[in-house]
Amino acid sequence: MRMVAALLLLLPIWVQAESAKDVCDTAKKYAASIQNQLPMNVDAATRWTGMSAVYSDSTCLINHTNVLDMASLAQEILHVERQRGSQVNIADVRNYISSPSYRDFLVDISKDANLRKSSRILAVPNVVVTTDYFPTALIEPFSITLTQDDL
């Protein structure tokens, strides 16, 4: 929740940014200001563990790092399925979330979520936002990289 509130506070600054350098300068200040608050829970299974911003060759490269707690994710899915009346058990859920199709689904929803959060800064030319995800088990790490072309 703190991350969402903090990002909302920065939104007017990033919206007013006229260049990738402006975005990067703001992102660097923000990254420095939150370092002592990290890691931070984003949701039941995601912990935001780092952020950096680098301005190089007229491009602002913003990187976020997250850890996905797969045990928490499995418990959350199990809880939802049981509320729906399903008779699945934790082994069934672990098998499901370790499948290539679930990993693809997770990558897709992560990309959509990152695009929604970053769309205003991606509107500034030469801004690249990458989010690295490191699952604690079951699936391989993955990265989402977004540019203005993804808008």
Backbone torsions φ then ψ of 64, nearest 5 degrees: -115, 145
- The tens-digit pLDDT sequence of the chain (151 residues) is 445 445 544 544 455 668 999 999 999 999 999 999 999 999 999 999 999 999 999 999 999 999 999 999 999 999 999 999 999 999 999 999 999 999 999 999 999 999 999 999 999 999 999 999 999 999 999 999 999 999 9
The one-character DSSP state at 98 is T
Alpha-carbon 96 to chain mean position: 22
Q: What percent of the chain has pLDDT over 90?
A: 88
Q: How far is CA 135 from CA 46, 98, 106, 111, 117, in A?
A: 9, 11, 11, 16, 21
Q: Are strands 59-68 and 127-135 parallel, antiparallel or unpaired?
A: parallel
| This prediction's pTM | 0.87
